[in-house]
């Protein structure tokens, strides 16, 4: 934070909100700049023996059963898969998500954020996760990043009546941190079903997290963006492109030109697939 911000409490508050620190986590302010009293020296603790990794051959032998009472993450993923598969419509899928308690993020959220836009559109945008404003309103991309997404869509003559928008995660991670792999794993069966039910003709992934979870690639977004890839639903391959996330573009406005290039390519593809009704062609 600059000295100018330190002397202007309102501007400093706006800076914090922009950085994602938009909620209080304690009743009393904490001055973290004051030196902490030194901790009393502790007696050394003997390290517990570490479990040995088993040789591959031992996996074939019968293993003792896991204690039945332990809640397993895979149980929740299994539940998510069956709930998602049973949903025959978007309304049923939304209701299934709202009734699903397997993802720990949900308990700190005001809303399950499902989607916005036109479900009959064949142009699907997928972002990362709701932020504070999205959690308040129960809709994706309605905060500052959402305003930029609206402008990005408008640049290729799309809006929320002609496109459909959702996220990989349906609940806001605290302080907008990256989703943990197990949190994403709970939401992915719902997202896959969401894609099947919308049946998009094209998918645009917004940012690295969406690209990683939807495509399963660990490459950085700068390598992935702008490339046409395919997402398979049954026998159908849906063209998919990742581009830069609008929240990233708010922090790195000089990279908007890269996103603009991607959007132009996306517009061209949509026109060639007959997904956009437009007479003017894109150069």
From candidates 205, 247, 259, 270, binder to ligand URA by CB under 6 A: 247
Count the residues of the shown chain that bind ligand URA, applying the rule CB under 6 A: 14
Q: Which is nearer to ligand URA, 140 or 201 (CB)?
A: 140
Which position has the token pair 């020296």? 41
Enumerate residues 6+ apart whose C-beta is below 8 A from 271. 278, 281, 282
Residue by residue, DSSP assigns 86-112 as H--SHHHHHHHHHH---SGGGGG-S--
The yes or no reply on residue 134 touching ligand URA (CB under 6 A) is yes
Q: Which is nearer to ligand URA, 79 or 138 (CB)?
A: 138
Q: Which is nearer to ligand URA, 207 or 276 (CB)?
A: 207
From candidates 76, 112, 121, 167, binder to ligand URA by CB under 6 A: 167
Which position has the token pair 């009743």? 27
Enumerate residues 6+ apart whose C-beta is below 8 A from 119. 90, 164, 198
> How far apart are the two ends of the chain, measured CA to CA in Å?
43
The yes or no reply on residue 243 touching ligand URA (CB under 6 A) is no
From candidates 125, 141, 164, 248, binder to ligand URA by CB under 6 A: 141
The yes or no reply on residue 183 touching ligand URA (CB under 6 A) is no
How far is it, in rounded angstroms, from Cα 27 to Cα 30? 9
The yes or no reply on residue 242 touching ligand URA (CB under 6 A) is no
CB of 221 to ligand URA, least distance (A): 13
How far is it, in rounded angstroms, from Cα 153 to Cα 162? 10
The yes or no reply on residue 140 touching ligand URA (CB under 6 A) is yes
Which position has the token pair 């391959």? 237
What sign results for the dihedral spanned by CA atoms 141, 172, 182, 98? negative
From candidates 115, 145, 249, 276, binder to ligand URA by CB under 6 A: 145
- Contacting ligand URA within 114-133 (CB under 6 A): 127-131
Written as six digits, the tokens of 17 are: 């909100």
Residue ranges in contact with ligand URA by CB under 6 A:
127-131, 134, 140-141, 143, 145-146, 167, 206, 247
């Amino acid at each position: 934070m600059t000295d100018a911000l330190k002397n202007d409490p309102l501007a400093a508050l706006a800076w914090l909100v922009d950085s994602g620190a938009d909620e209080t986590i304690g009743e009393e302010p904490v001055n973290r700049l004051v030196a902490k009293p030194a901790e009393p020296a502790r007696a050394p603790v003997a390290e517990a023996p570490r479990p040995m990794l088993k040789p591959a051959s031992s996996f074939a032998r019968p293993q003792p059963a896991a204690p039945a009472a332990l809640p397993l993450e895979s149980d929740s993923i299994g539940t998510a898969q069956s709930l998602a598969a049973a949903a025959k419509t978007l309304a049923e899928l939304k209701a299934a998500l709202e009734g699903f308690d397997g993802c720990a993020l949900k308990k700190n959220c005001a809303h399950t954020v499902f989607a916005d836009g036109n479900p009959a559109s064949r142009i699907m945008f997928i972002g990362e996760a709701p932020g504070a404003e999205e959690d308040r309103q129960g809709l994706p991309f309605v905060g500052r990043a959402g305003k930029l997404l609206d402008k990005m869509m408008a640049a290729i003559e799309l809006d929320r009546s002609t496109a459909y928008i959702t996220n990989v995660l349906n609940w806001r991670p605290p302080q907008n941190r990256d989703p943990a792999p197990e949190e994403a794993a709970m939401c992915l069966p719902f997202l896959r079903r969401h894609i099947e039910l919308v049946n998009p003709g094209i998918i645009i992934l917004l940012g690295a997290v969406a690209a990683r979870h939807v495509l399963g690639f660990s490459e950085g977004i700068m390598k992935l963006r702008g490339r046409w890839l395919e997402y398979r639903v049954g026998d159908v391959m849906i063209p998919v492109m990742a581009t830069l996330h609008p929240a990233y573009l708010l922090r790195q406005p000089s990279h908007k030109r890269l996103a603009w290039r991607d959007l132009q390519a996306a517009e061209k593809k949509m026109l060639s697939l007959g997904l956009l009704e437009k007479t003017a062609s894109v150069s």
